[in-house]
Structure 1
């Protein structure tokens, strides 16, 4: 099936219709949603100008099971698939009204909120730890079928290694490499790991020269550790 983008006028009309549907749903619940920061025919983004907190609703997979994500300071603290649009609206309205994660979960129990997110809410994690938690948290609800089957395994194995966990994870074209500084600035340290669809891994040296293929993620992590410069 070939995807054909909608004409601008049709896309604008579809976005307006979705916005109206959100407003009707909120009104039926006795709630008020803020005006979306961005709006399309299948999604809406909401930004709290005061706190910078973000929330979004996406219906690209199913109108009946919209995806919801709640973000703070660039990190996704809660996400999940609502049972219906009303559930999504309740979650976003509570978050944008300033409710904490526990309170939002009270009105939106479908949301996945990890222990680290509650801890981050109480006392912000450092940038490197937050980068790891943010990326790992996506695996719980994100559609990752297009990724190699061992993509998550690669992340979890690297996260479990204390020396790599001190470095921020960065990905490019399914390849995982490491940065001595947290996002948004990156300073590459050591080599990289690329998962392949046959289950193996490619490990590249830090200068991008030598490439070694290994069968297991343990071997891949060990090679990256060997290639770290002194002091890391």
Structure 2
């Protein structure tokens, strides 16, 4: 790539370099052997012939990349594709149209809020988060999974909805089994999901929802999906029956 860059630059700057003595400074040591390569391949041979006229006038000097940072700033300066740019290329605008299909709407979030009212853990979390309470006796009433997440500071309250935060995600906490099944459906076998693989389904659920043992539930839901089991049936040689000794 560096050799091709040199050939391209010499071609573009021919009117300025023709008949003059100049140095080519590069941080690629292999470019130094471009003119003197004994057994070049067809690409290198074609490039050698293209720059033979500069032999004797051009000196290729190697300069370590650590002290050659000034060139990086020039070579990586991307110019906008505007009429002021000499290399401007008119581009036709294409309008992007997308359709997102989902059954989750405002009603779903209202159902989530209603489900919190009849769940013991969410009721306790409300008291802990709204009052910023640090009462150990109150947090000890949480179930083990909820208490561990609370002690790690993972729960947050926003617009009456409890969110479970990790390093890279902030997911809505769910308690009602019907709502959990709705999320599983939307993340795996809805029109917009398209029956993704187990790993991708886990990743989609991870970014939007959380509940105790959610990974186990997602894997079980995937493994019991009738369409996926028919499409991804096991292939290869079957195991033989055991031989009685």
Q: Which has a greater percent of helix?
A: 2
> TM-score, length-normalised on structure 2?
0.23
Bigger radius of gyration, 1 or 2? 2
Which has a greater percent of strand?
Answer: 1
Q: TM-score, normalised by structure 1?
A: 0.24
**Structure with more contact order per residue of length (Cα contacts < 8 Å, sep ≥ 6):** 2
